[in-house]
Structure 1
């Protein structure tokens, strides 16, 4: 394993640790939501989402090592910046939603729809972070097959996820 591959593996492991931190926060928020009568929707797609996000991390490292993908500074550094910006956006979403944020779709009856932070600018900023990260993280070290596969599969998954989420929140397409 080259030095750049090792450093890339460390980066991907750090993103994996961040995901574990999200799961801890999510579990705590789910308990809070369920204690207040929260109703979960879309349980069927959640395991697929976990599998896909895990495959992104594993696939990126495997592709870089097995296919001996090079680190191309003109691509890698801008993609690293995008990965870091995506993380910042993700945690801005989490902090803005507070206890209402979750990796699952759990709606607490009577809770108001959050329209602050990044949600005042767009409807699904966390999914923007996911899309950017899913494309950019593998491309830090030119793992283009992983980037392309994740992006296509993630867009299919998000088409289901966003529909479930908006239905659970009582939103209609085109509503603010």
Structure 2
């Protein structure tokens, strides 16, 4: 895969992320209008920077480091990236207006246990982990994959704690 094709592939992922942001903004308004409470604001700017850096790092490393396209690795990880997009939108569909890039919960709503949430508590985070390694490796950008994976592990530790606290609080509101 040429560097130009890979750059277009990363840009397509970036456009998909922008679509997520549009949906997220609409869902945030829905949740806040119903008494939703946002928690974990402190880590959110870091998350935006990290995910933007992933996209920039992929392209920069491939061009500046002259990383090769290794067909077996490239096509396999490209397929993983595409599958990740499908699973991500399955998560968004299952959560409906409760899905958001921020941690906003509406008190009193039960936990979602349909779609991929029937199998995992946090399927979208599995997608982020897989995609964060796979997208750079499509064109052998191993340094970006490694740095993102380590930074994302730290971020997800903070985010999962914030989300779990928020969900426990919201579910307790349902029981009161």
TM range (shorter): over 0.9
SS in 1 for 2:108: coil
Deviations 1:114-167 (A, max 9, x none): 000000101100000000000000000000000000000001100000010000
- 2:94 matched residue in structure 1: 96
Q: Does 1:116 align with 2:99?
A: no
- 1:155 matched residue in structure 2: 153
TM-superposed CA distance for 1:30, in Å, is 0.2
Q: What RMSD, in angstroms, separates the aligned Cα atoms of the two structures? A: 0.9
Q: What CA distance in whole angstroms lies between the structure 2 residues aligned with 1:87 and 1:159?
A: 22
**TM-score normalised to structure 2 length:** 0.95
- 1:24 matched residue in structure 2: 22
SS in 1 for 2:52: helix
Q: What CA distance in whole angstroms lies between the structure 1 residues aligned with 2:88 and 2:27?
A: 16
Q: Which residue, 127, 130, 133 being the options, matches 1:132?
A: 130
TM-superposed CA distance for 1:110, in Å, is 1.0
Deviations 1:31-82 (A, max 9, x none): 0000000000000000000000000000000000000000000110000011
Q: What CA distance in whole angstroms lies between the structure 2 residues aligned with 1:115 and 1:11?
A: 33
* Structure 1 alignment gaps of length 5 or more: 172-176
The count of residues paired between Structure 1 and Structure 2 equals 169
Runs of 4+, deviation exceeding 6 Å: none
Q: Which residue, 46, 49, 52 being the options, matches 1:51?
A: 49
Taking the TM superposition and a 5 Å limit, the aligned residue runs for 1:74-93 are 74-93=72-91
- 1:174 matched residue in structure 2: none
**TM-score normalised to structure 1 length:** 0.95
TM-superposed CA distance for 1:107, in Å, is 0.5
Q: What CA distance in whole angstroms lies between the structure 1 residues aligned with 2:33 and 2:54?
A: 33
Q: What CA distance in whole angstroms lies between the structure 1 residues aligned with 2:13 and 2:144?
A: 16
Q: What CA distance in whole angstroms lies between the structure 1 residues aligned with 2:148 and 2:22?
A: 24
* Structure 2 alignment gaps of length 5 or more: 170-176
